[in-house]
Each structure stands twice: as structure tokens, then as C-alpha cells.
Structure 1
Amino acid sequence: MAVKNLKSLLLFLVGMLIYYAPLNASPFLQDSDQDYVEYKGEVINSNNEDVIVNAHLSVNETNISTVTNSEGKFSLKVPKGSSPATVNISYLGYQSKNLPLSYFKPRGTIIYLEPVVEELSEVKVYEAGDARRLVRNMLDNRGDNYIDDPTQMTAFYRESISKGNRNVSLSEAVVKIHKKPYSDFGEEDIELVKARKTADYERLDTLALKLRGGPFNTLFIDVMKYPDYLFYERDLDNYEFSFEEPTQIDNRYLYVVSFEDMNKNMPWFFGTLFIDAETQSLVRAKLNMNVDNRRAATNMFVNKKPGGTKVYPIEVMYDIDYHQQDGKWYFGYSNAQLLFVVNWKRKLFNSRYLVDSEMAVTNWHPQSEDRIKKRDNFINKRVVMADDISGFTDLQFWGSNNIIEPDKSIQNAIEKIQENIQ
């Protein structure tokens, strides 16, 4: 089953070693503060003024991009002299917009997107309703439809661990992803460029430390690069596939295919795939794992736990977005949310920990080197970052790097960190 293939991936969540390489050591030079302009704003539904989460903003004719946070807010940094550039704003089910960079203000830019209201009659049922064949073609064509050359991606990674409503750990990093071709089955490397991390150890018990993850957790849910982690073509008969109401993004029509694993002996996957009608490329995936089988789920996620406790996940969710550039799709954004329950034998109430990880690709270019020489700041898949709170006191810590704008709860946590170490 595909779930068995996931076990080695998911156990990254239980690593206990600490990454001690200097967090700011990097061969990549950062632009000075004078070399870029930062624009901030919000993307909103024009019909009801709801915020649009994970909307994609990209500077046309470049590979610079960012996404909105959970409150619809964004921060976009572009090099000085980019005018008269234009910015594309898009999100699934909305009409895309192209706006001149002159439209944006350093603070308070409001962008309204209109929901798609036209009938999507151009999307015909694929091959007499054969959704399974569409998914099989989607997997078969990945070498043609996705960037198939070695690529170096710059990405921003954020991971928070919360206990109840309180953030108890926060990690942020700019990383370099050495991405292999989509037709290549080799695993990829991540290089740490700049990072900061803190944890409230009075509220974060030893068990929670074993649930920490890292950037590989969000990279390895790239379904098109690692199809074995979800399903592979020889296993498609084990799944049910069906068409849902089609949609569109960036003026492209999309098939919407729901799927569900028919073998429910182990924790099993279900979710939705959004597939480009023209190229049969995966544009987005929303994945869920059913973890009602607590014993099996515990064996999958928890490698070690204190005596007298029961630990099990109750929610496991993944989101993956792909973006297009010059006729090729590439991994653009991923999010992983895992909610764990910890029952202590002699405690009346249990504890709940939410591990929320996200990664957004903010720039990329072809990688000229055939073989990458690993340096000290390459991240091992089974270690996590050491604490370094000094970065939280530096308001210009990220420099010219594009990041995901922190939402209110994360911003409050950062402000408290700054207050405590001043």
C-alpha cells in the first residue's frame, strides 16, 4: 500500500537530534536593504470581502513569487528598477489579475479577485468519465509537463507547534532546494541559508520535542516528484476516482477528481486532485489521511514515547500547489498539518499538539552543476534546527528574501520573543 511507503517519510517528525551548524553561514550573498522594495497588502474576495488564503503573486517575466498567509496578507519584495513590471495574482476558482507594479504601495495594497461565475462547458468529461485513466496519464506525463532539469529553488519555510491556542515553538528559515528532475527518482537536498527558532520549553514537554519536523516534511509531499508516497500507477486499481464540478485558475480549465483508498485496513488516504484539462498536469492536491485506526496510526507516526502515555494523531492534512512558468509546471507551495493527542495516565485532561508546516518557493533558476558538493549547511533528513532566537530581535533579518507574511498569532509570538530578550 502507498501508506507503507509513507512510513519512512512520516518518521521525520520524531527526530530528536539537533542541527548545530551555524544558522547564518551561507555561500549565498544577500542583497543589501537598499537593493529591493517591499510591498505589503491583502487579497480579498470581491463578492463578500472574505480574505483569500494562499493566493499566488508572481512578478511577470521573472521567477519571483510569494503567497498570502492565513489572513490573506502578503509581502512581496522586488529588486529596485523592476518597474514597469507587472504582477500576476491568481487563486483556484477566481479570475486572475495582472496589475502594474506601480499599483502596489509599500503598505496597505488591497487586491480584489472575482470568483469564476461562467459555466465551464468547455471541460468535457474525460474519456467517457474515466477519472482513473486521467490520473494515470497525469502520472505518466510528469516528465513532459513539469520542470525536468536540475533546478535550484529558494524557498521560505515556517513550522509552528501549538499546544491548545498557544504557540510553543516557532521555526523559520530561508532554504535552497536542489530539486531533481521530475523524471528522476532520486531524493533532493535542502541547504539552510538563514534561520531562526525558539521554543517555550516550560510549556513544551519532552514528548512534543519528538514531534518536531523540518523542511523535508513539506518537500516530500510533492506528489508529482514522489508519487509513491501517495499512490503509483500500479496501485491505482486500489483507489476509487470520481469527477467533481470542474473549476479554473489563471484562465485555465481544471478537472476536479476526488479519490479514496479502498483498502482501509491501515490509515488510508482520501482527497481531491485539480488537474489541468489541456496538459493533464496536477495543479493542486488536497490530501487527508484517515487515522481512525489509532494503533496503526501511532505505529506510523510515533517512534518513541514516555511510559504511561498514549499518543495518536487525530487529523492529518496536506495541501500542495504547483505553478506554471514558460509552459512548465513546478512545485510552488505545500502545507502539512498534524494534530496529535497525548493522554497521560495520571492526568485528568489530555494535551493536544498541532504541528503546522508550510513552504513557499519564492524564486528559482536552472542549476548549472551536475553534481552538488554538499556543504556543512546542508540539512540531514533526520535532524532539526537548533534554537537561535537572536534573529527575532533584528527587524531586517530576512533582508531581500521573500517570506510568507506572519499571521496575527505568529506576529504576536514574535513580538513576545522580542520583549523577553530585550
Structure 2
Amino acid sequence: MKINTTNHPIKSWVVLIVILGTLGGSQKIKASYNFQVEQQEVFNQYKGKIIDSNTKKELVFATIAIENSNISTVTNSEGDFSLKVPKNMEEVTVFISFLGYKTKTINLSDLKDTTLKIALETAVTALSEVNIVVPNNAELVVRETLRNKGANYFEFPTLMTAFYRETIKKRKKNVSLSEAVVNIHKTSYSSKQTDAVELYKARKSTDYSKLDTLTLKLQGGPFNTLFIDLMKYPEYVFTEETIPLYTYTFERSARINEQLIYVINFVQKEKTPNQLYKGQLFIDAKHKILTSAIYELNITDRENAARMFVKRKPAKANVYPTAVAYRVDYREKDNKWYYGYSNVMLEFKINWDDKWFNSVYSMTCEMAVTDWEKNIGKNLKGREKLRKNIILSDEAVGFSDPDFWGEYNIIEPEKSIESAIKKIQKQIKKNKIGGTVAALKP
């Protein structure tokens, strides 16, 4: 959807549409519980934690990848990761990378200690200390980067396996979790054809007792994270019409795998009447390649922002977003780049007409590509494609057994989420009727 700033306020795309509705007090939650027989395990699982070598703080969204393969995963919000690798790949090297840090290589066998902490060293240098000529115009660097997508990113269609998760928190407590393994039929970066997604497996857990009298649902599912791929879908943030509406400045440089990276700030110009974005672009200085982007919606009009993201709400509630943030990371293979990970966070308040206190919720969705191959003649039929307005929590009807995910790599859950998963699994097993359906009370 192109942005026309002359006719109407800026619109966001399909990401993070929140549906709010009253929930009857006696309503029961039904969850399907299907025992699944997984194939014989032919993989090993490795776990660890990625930290900063100086501060010892956990590094969130760090990438762990196997050398000479497409297998990878990312760390969670606590720096933990889990990596599943075929048993015939025991003698391989693992790359650990994170934006602004030196990439580290270790042997896969070193990961067998599940308490292992891997420390990365920072690799950030001030621009004034680097012997390079910095372009005078940061906006021209951004324009050149957008023009070069056909040359620097995958020019062939790919079939990607990805793990997707969406969570809802009430203040700091997790109240809902939905997860899925999906197949992404991704078209080339020079193609205008939209990517397609196929749902492979899904599961969910919701504690409605912590949701007040609300049912919160996230519309869009994996497409929320997929459309953040700025190099595939630049029109959602940068168009010929909107590029001049930002101010671009160089902040610093970083070296990643010995490549110099420009860090370019962009912010909406003053007196621009529409709600645009602000953030940072991490661009390879030599080849003008976007390696990562971190940005957020510049909320200048609370009511307009609410219309962008709230689809339905109770009559006695005023609902509006207080923060909408995005992140996308790209990975490199044979001198070509591709979408690897993205994250979306929406925080909003609910003010009730008949209550003294408001409710604060946050909704987060993230997706990580864990494997990929060239797509040779594999096309999805109409019914196999996920709808762009899918509500995953309606499709994922219950948690399955502990081996539900088989050999697929997933993002390690936070400890609080992990505890919630175990709790709901026990409830489902205890209450399952006839081995297939469980009725749970909130």
C-alpha cells in the first residue's frame, strides 16, 4: 500500500491490528490435544547463552549459524538459544554474530555443555577514528541502498522454514503465547510479487484470568513480521514521496565481519503533518547493503494511531498505542543477503470509563528463518496459503506433546513463558476428554 500524504493521514500496513472484545465470565476455553508421532530423532540439540564480554549482559537477537549450511537460530530476550543440528553434522563450526560485535567461531562440540556462556567483544568505532571518507549526504546513501536491492539480495525464489511467535503481556506478566512453524515461499528481491506463507504447525496458551474482561487477538500472524523486510517491501516506510520527509544523519560506524557499517539515523522532519517513523539503518559502507534496521512509529497523534491499530474495542474503553517498534536483520550467504529475523512490539493502554486504573498491555511478534533452500517449481495452491489477515491464536488450538516441534529450530522461550507452557500442558493432559478435547476453566 503506497503512502499518499496529500490525501489522508499515513496508514500502517496490516501489522498489529488488535481486536478487543468482552468475554463472558462463564466462558470456558477449549483446547484440542492431539498426540503426534514424531519421526525418529536424527538430530542433536545444543543450548547456551550469548553475553557481552565486558558487561556480562545478555545479547538479545544474536544469530547462531552452522558453517556451510543454512541452519541457524537466534537468542531470546534472556540471551538463551537452542540449536538443533542433524547428527551427521557433528564436526562443524558454529558462527555467533551480533550487530556491533566481533563474530565468534567455535566448534559445535563445545556447545554440549548446556550451561556454556559465550562472550562476544564489541566492535564499534567512532567515525572520526576511521580512515574513510564519509559521504556528505546520508539521504543519498539510503537511496542508493534501496536501488541496489536487486544486485545485493537473493535474485532467486527461496523456500524458507521459519519459527514464529506472538506473545501478549499484561504489564510484565505473560498472559498469552502462540507459536508456529511456517514455510515461507519468498520471491526474489527484484520481483514485485508478494511472498506467500504456509502454516506447518501451531500451538497456543492463554491465561484469560489475567486479561480482565478482554479477549485480545493479533491479526496478521507471520505477515506482521514478514512485511518488515524493508528491502522487499520498502514502500511501507520509504517511497519517493516519503523519503524527503525525513532528516538523515550519520551517527557512528561499526565493523561486522571486517566490513565497515554506516549507522544512519532517520527522523521525521518537524511540521510534517503525518505520523511517520524514526530509527536507525545499518548499511554496509562499501556495497550499500542494508544489514539491519531498528525503527519505531513516531506517534504524534494518539487518536490517529489508535485508528491504525485497534479494530474493535468495548464501548466503555479508550484504547490507544503508546509505542510501536520494529526490527529486521539480514543474513549473508555467498555474497548475497536475505531476510533472517524480524520483531514487532506494540504497547498500548486501555482506559476504562468506570475504573480508576488503566490497563497496560504489550504485544510482541517475532519470526526467525531457521533454514532455506532454492525454490525450484514449488508453488502454493490457494487453500494452502495463509490469509494476510489470519489470527494465529484461532488457528492454533492447543499445546501438543513435548516433542511437538521435532527437529525444527525454535526461539527459546523466556523462563516465565516456559513455566506457563508446562502448566498449561499439565492442565490439558489432566482434562483431556477421550484423548482429543480438553475443557479448561479460566
TM-score where L is the length of structure 1: 0.90
5+ residue gaps, structure 2: 22-31, 431-442
Relative distance call for 1:255 and 1:333 in structure 2 (3 A) is same
Q: Which amino acid aligns with 1:86?
A: T
Instruction: Give CA-to-partner distance per residue, 1:67-105, whole Å, 9 cap, x none.
Output: 111111110111011132111111111111111212221
Answer yes or no: is 1:320 the counterpart of 2:328.
yes
Q: Please, which of 15, 31, 50 is the counterpart of residue 10 of structure 1?
A: 15
Q: Please, which of 271, 278, 281 is the counterpart of residue 286 of structure 2?
A: 278
What CA distance in whole angstroms lies between the structure 1 residues aligned with 2:15 and 2:273? Answer: 18
What CA distance in whole angstroms lies between the structure 2 residues aligned with 1:264 and 1:111? Answer: 45
Corresponding residue number in structure 1 for 2:234:
227
What CA distance in whole angstroms lies between the structure 2 residues aligned with 1:409 and 1:165? Answer: 10
Deviation at 1:106, TM superposition (A): 5.5
Alignment of 1:314-393 (within 5 A): 314-369=322-377, 371-376=379-384, 378-385=385-392, 386=394, 388=396, 390-392=398-400
Deviation at 1:266, TM superposition (A): 2.9
Q: Please, which of 199, 202, 211 is the counterpart of residue 204 of structure 1?
A: 211
Alignment of 1:188-267 (within 5 A): 188-204=195-211, 207-262=214-269, 264-267=272-275
Deviation at 1:406, TM superposition (A): 0.8
Q: In 2, are the aligned partners of 1:286 and 1:319 still within 8 Å (CA)?
A: yes
Corresponding residue number in structure 1 for 2:95:
88
Q: Please, which of 37, 48, 53 is the counterpart of residue 41 of structure 1?
A: 48
SS at match of 2:140: helix
Q: In 1, are the aligned partners of 2:61 and 2:98 still within 8 Å (CA)?
A: yes
SS at match of 1:372: coil
What is the percent sequence identity of the aligned residues? 45
Corresponding residue number in structure 2 for 1:397:
404
Corresponding residue number in structure 2 for 1:305:
313
Deviation at 1:210, TM superposition (A): 4.5
What CA distance in whole angstroms lies between the structure 2 residues aligned with 1:304 and 1:289? Answer: 21
Deviation at 1:375, TM superposition (A): 4.0
Instruction: Give CA-to-partner distance per residue, 1:257-289, whole Å, 9 cap, x none.
Output: 000122542322100000011211111101111
Relative distance call for 1:123 and 1:197 in structure 2 (3 A) is farther
Relative distance call for 1:148 and 1:233 in structure 2 (3 A) is farther
Deviation at 1:117, TM superposition (A): 6.0
Structure 1 residues 74-83 or 298-307, which shifts more? 298-307
Q: Which amino acid aligns with 2:363?
A: V
SS at match of 1:360: strand
Q: In 2, are the aligned partners of 1:23 and 1:192 still within 8 Å (CA)?
A: no
Q: In 1, are the aligned partners of 2:20 and 2:313 still within 8 Å (CA)?
A: no
SS at match of 2:399: helix
What CA distance in whole angstroms lies between the structure 1 residues aligned with 2:131 and 2:318? Answer: 49
Corresponding residue number in structure 2 for 1:70:
77
Answer yes or no: is 1:186 the counterpart of 2:202.
no
Q: In 2, are the aligned partners of 1:266 and 1:296 still within 8 Å (CA)?
A: no
Relative distance call for 1:314 and 1:208 in structure 2 (3 A) is farther
Q: In 2, are the aligned partners of 1:292 and 1:314 still within 8 Å (CA)?
A: no
Deviation at 1:353, TM superposition (A): 1.4
Corresponding residue number in structure 1 for 2:181:
174
Answer yes or no: is 1:142 the counterpart of 2:142.
no
What CA distance in whole angstroms lies between the structure 1 residues aligned with 2:4 and 2:281? Answer: 16
Q: In 2, are the aligned partners of 1:123 and 1:246 still within 8 Å (CA)?
A: no
SS at match of 2:405: coil
Relative distance call for 1:367 and 1:106 in structure 2 (3 A) is farther
Q: Please, which of 130, 136, 160 is the counterpart of residue 137 of structure 2?
A: 130
What CA distance in whole angstroms lies between the structure 1 residues aligned with 2:410 and 2:64? Answer: 12
Instruction: Give CA-to-partner distance per residue, 1:167-202, whole Å, 9 cap, x none.
Output: 221101110111111112222111111110122233
SS at match of 1:278: coil
SS at match of 2:295: strand
SS at match of 1:172: strand
Q: Please, which of 96, 115, 121 is the counterpart of residue 122 of structure 2?
A: 115
Q: Which amino acid aligns with 2:111?
A: F
Corresponding residue number in structure 2 for 1:32:
39
SS at match of 1:135: helix
